[in-house]
Chains A and B, each alone.
Chain A
Amino acid sequence: MNWDRRIPGLGDLRLLALMLFMTALGMAMIYSAGQVEVRSVATGIWVRQFAWFCVGAVAFVVTSRLPLRFLEWLAPALYGLSLGLLVLVLFIGTGPQGSWLELGPGRLQPAEVAKFGTILMLARVLSAKELEFQNLSQLVRPVVIVLVPFALVLLQPDLGSAIIFGVILIAALFWAGVPLVKIFLLVSPAFSLLLGFNWIVWGIWFLIVAASLYVHRPFILESVSVILANFAAGALTLRLWNSLAEYQQDRLLVFMNPEVDPQGSGWHLIQSKVAIGSGGLFGQGFAAGPQKRLAFLPEQHTDFVFSVVGEELGFVGVLFFLGLFCALLWRMLRVATDSTDDFGSTLTFCLFGVLFAHLVVNLGMTVGMLPITGLPLPLISYGGSFLLLLYAGFGVVQRVAAER
């Protein structure tokens, strides 16, 4: 409780510098994304991003001054509020997937707020007492805490955010010291769901799960539930798949071969790859990328902002950005490792996980390695709620670093 010992709330100045620098770079890229020769919503939107930055800066200052104990105390309320918003958005949500709440002058994505709330809640639960994790049933509480918002965002449906909730859970358990094999068994039904398309592949997977159960020898009830869950997931795969709308199927599948539908669902991917590929070593020059300029590249200020980086700044620019992300993640990891506070350390690591997942999913999408899930690139993509969440998160991380 000695938060007024040093510069209030600021524990890692390098992290702060990286955050501000990358936000500035992001704004520059959003500015460039708006330099197009057709009518576009992206034009001039960097100003809005700047406004969001200002809001985010306030959030940053506030969260960096909040004592961790206060946050811990606040966690259940915030979590509850998040769930409330997620339910609310199902009814009065706006935007393409009904994932926005109109809020006076701006919009809010409750999913972003919920990520923050869930992280705090998880960190509180996992740091409350020394868990031994001998039994999978000990994981029921953390799993349920994540599963509720996970299910709610899937209902929107917002697959990208759902993935992030999964990542939050795994990150929290990983950091709490849950044995890796338990985490593996926990997420194994998700893989069953993925591999259930092919009975042979699924069969092999099932054997692997069974083998690890045999080696690990957990309690009977636990083993049975893992096996049943894998069975159920594998059996549900096709049924779930068929219940998806065609455009959703396309979106998930097309990354494997975008050329099957170059004008339709493959368009985003092909144009993104063309933009990045044509950047070469040094790029086409800031704000001058033809793919972006002539509107071939869709979502150039949000999901595909990094394609603009690739096209205009080339491989050199890409490496520079990747380097910055590396440094950012490294600083966050250091804060999480160095913290003596279980709550602070866990939530920092969760935020690290969220940031990392966004980075991988977003970049994997722009180069065509992963399906299009609509996750923005942290600090670079346009998006107010996400920036707000990040800044609030970074504020807390600073606080964690300060309270070390």
Chain B
Amino acid sequence: MRRQRGKMAAIAVGVTIALLAAAFFRLQLLSGDQYTLRSEENRLRAISLPAPRGTIYDRNGLVIAENVPGYVVSVLPGRRDTIASTLKRLAGHLDLSRERVDELIATNRARPNESLEVLDDASFAQVTFIEERRPQFRRVVVEPRPQRRYPNGPAVAHIIGYVGQISPLELENPRYEGYEAGRTIGKDGLEAQYEPLLAGDRGVRYVEVNALGSVVRDFDVGRGQPAMPGNDLQLGIDLELQVMADSIFPEGMRGAIVAIDPANGEVIVAYSHPTFDPNGFIGGIPTSLWNSLRDDPDKPMLNRVSTATYPPGSTWKLVMSTIGMKTQTLTIDTRHQHACAGSLRYGNRAFRCWKSSGHGSLDLSGAIKNSCNVYFYQVGQGIGLDPLMAGVEALGFGERTGIDLPFEMAGRFPQSRDYFDQQYGPRGWTESVVWNLSIGQGENDQTMLGMARFYAALATGESPVRPHFARYENLAEQRVDWDLDLPEARRIELVDAMARVVNEPGGTAYGNRLQKWTLAGKTGTAQNPHGAPHSVFLGFAPAYDPRVVVAAIVEQGHPDGRPSLAVPLASRIVNRYLESIGIPPEETPGQRPVVAAPAGVVVTAPEVISP
């Protein structure tokens, strides 16, 4: 009996232990990899290492955007109540408001498996506080993270933009594929435009945590990946000139100035006023700051260089002259039927010149010098509405310049009669619209950048290069598919006229001529229904070997009887630029040199021995 029962017991033991062994076999060998992974998920936490963004330099190697050491405080994932209590203990020391704590708890609820970023610009004192109390804050991770800083923030705010945490909406944008929540991205300006270049690749570091969620140690057995810093970006911008523009811009006024190198399209200066300090946006924009900027009637965040359009005013007269010459309705010597007597009648309506006493009889050169409206009404009349609209379109005014900056606006100019039909009804308008358009008013709004591009074409006689900030060879070669389509001699005649504007007594910009070089240009006074006229200036220098094209506008900058504010601004910037790049003074500034020096060749003046 016992032997038999003993055998049964032995078999039972054998079978059971074999079953157990099979269970272990299944767990350890068949599903071993899966459980190894589970074990690592249990104890390893990935900590993402931010890549330092690329530095942005100006044309002379000065730093426009850089990274400075900063600290990020975050809390590792874990149970909700533990995280909530950690946050509450941190709140007092990190100056977190009750709302901010609630917000963080909500974020944690939405993404319970990611570490929670509590503060991304912790001060050294705050970091020290946490580190000194490590045992109390075992779940808290402090990591160094480079912070963006703009040493001359206000001077470059509108072009550089700013950086900030990626928003939930942006996360869904295919442009940010592979980005994770909490990541810093370029939000505006060049920071946004060149995000893929500047961003670099995040690295990852693993830490081992215990069951309570406390970090035990770094874990780096071939798992982590160092961050790859972003690429640096060099701009054609001259930071010193930006700073100068910021400091000399007329106090309390609004406006913009942009300067372009016509040879390669590089933007040398692009400044909009009033401005703001993008450094204040780093690490989250405080609501109060955001509201005050948004509600400011001066719209400090508006980029008036490329995201605002203005009536070009009299600076448009060179567009009219070009089209007039192209359509053979105008030469430099043309004198029109009606001399300027202060106004000209169209039907029963009088179109006024700015000089109520009249300019008398003028040729084109004189009309440009004196900015005579009556003359240009007749230029427009001579061209005719349809050829004018076609001519303006052929000069690229309906399109964006394609500058490497987000949110550029296109200029506005009617392209067909349908426009007027829709606007005023088929019988609601007359051919007199041409008159208004001819002096840069009416249905004519352009960006300063667009105007500068046309003046670059005027300055060089070539197809203008697409304006751009980043210094890349391929950008310097991207020219538009149009040029002035004007014989060189005709163009020089127009340049001569523009030189008279600045350099001849009586010219509208005579007070702001340069001592050493010939500045050619055209002033503008754009009528503004909201107040004093805008002051505009477009020009380039040296007139016969242009190195810089400038466009400046000061809103309401030309009150009656007062000097125009845009002209001195532009003139000073141009002067400083030519000085800084070492252009030798002309022998006879203000006059056309007998033999124009070929562009780019520095001609040494013969030594003059002073008596």
Q: Which residues of A contact B (CB under 8 A)?
A: 37-38, 174-175, 177, 263, 271, 273-281, 290-291, 294-296, 310, 314-315, 318-319, 322, 325-326, 329-330, 333, 336-337, 345, 349, 352, 356, 359-360, 363-364, 367, 369
Contact = CB atoms under 8 A, between A and B. Distances in A.
B23 to A, nearest CB: 4
Nearest to B208: A294
28 contacts: A38-B211, A174-B9, A263-B79, A274-B35, A274-B42, A275-B39, A276-B27, A277-B28, A277-B38, A277-B39, A278-B39, A280-B36, A281-B28, A295-B210, A310-B24, A315-B25, A315-B29, A318-B24, A322-B20, A322-B21, A330-B13, A333-B9, A337-B3, A352-B9, A356-B13, A360-B20, A364-B23, A367-B27
A243 to B, nearest CB: 31
Given A275-B39, A278-B38, 14 more contacts: A38-B212, A273-B35, A274-B35, A274-B42, A276-B27, A277-B34, A278-B35, A280-B32, A280-B36, A290-B43, A294-B209, A315-B25, A315-B29, A329-B13
A295 B42 CA distance: 11
A367 B20 contact: yes
B16 interface: yes
Nearest to B214: A38
B17 interface: yes
A295 B211 contact: yes
A174 to B, nearest CB: 6
B125 interface: no
Contact of B5 (A177, A280, A296, A325): A177
A320 to B, nearest CB: 11
Tell me the dominant secondary structure on chain A's binding face: helix
A330 B10 contact: yes
Contacts of A319: 21, 24
B416 interface: no
Given A263-B79, A275-B39, A294-B211, A310 B28 contact: yes
A277 B16 contact: no
A294 B36 contact: no
A274 B10 CA distance: 31
A294 B28 contact: no
B327 interface: no
B10 A277 contact: no
Contacts of B36: 277-278, 280
Given A277-B32, A290-B39, A290-B43, A363 B20 contact: yes
B210 A337 contact: no
A277 B35 contact: yes
B20 A294 contact: no
B27 A360 contact: no
Contacts of A281: 28-29, 32
In order of increasing CB-CB distance, the 3 nearest A-B pairs are: A277-B35, A278-B39, A294-B210
Tell me the dominant secondary structure on chain B's binding face: helix
Given A279-B32, A333-B10, A325 B17 contact: yes
A330 B3 CA distance: 13
A278 B37 CA distance: 8
B6 interface: yes
Contacts of B60: none
A82 to B, nearest CB: 26
Contact of B27 (A273, A329, A336): A273
A363 B21 CA distance: 10
A360 B16 contact: yes
A295 B39 CA distance: 12
B2 interface: yes
Contacts of A274: 35, 38-39, 42
A271 B39 CA distance: 8
A294 B43 contact: yes
A343 to B, nearest CB: 13
B1 interface: yes
Contacts of A352: 9
A251 to B, nearest CB: 20
Interface in B223-252: none
B7 to A, nearest CB: 9
B216 interface: yes
A322 B17 contact: yes
B588 interface: no
Contacts of A277: 27-28, 31-32, 34-36, 38-39
A75 B32 CA distance: 49
A344 to B, nearest CB: 12
Nearest to B25: A315
A364 B38 contact: no
A276 B29 contact: no
B324 to A, nearest CB: 82
A364 B20 contact: yes
Contact of A295 (B9, B20, B79, B212): B212
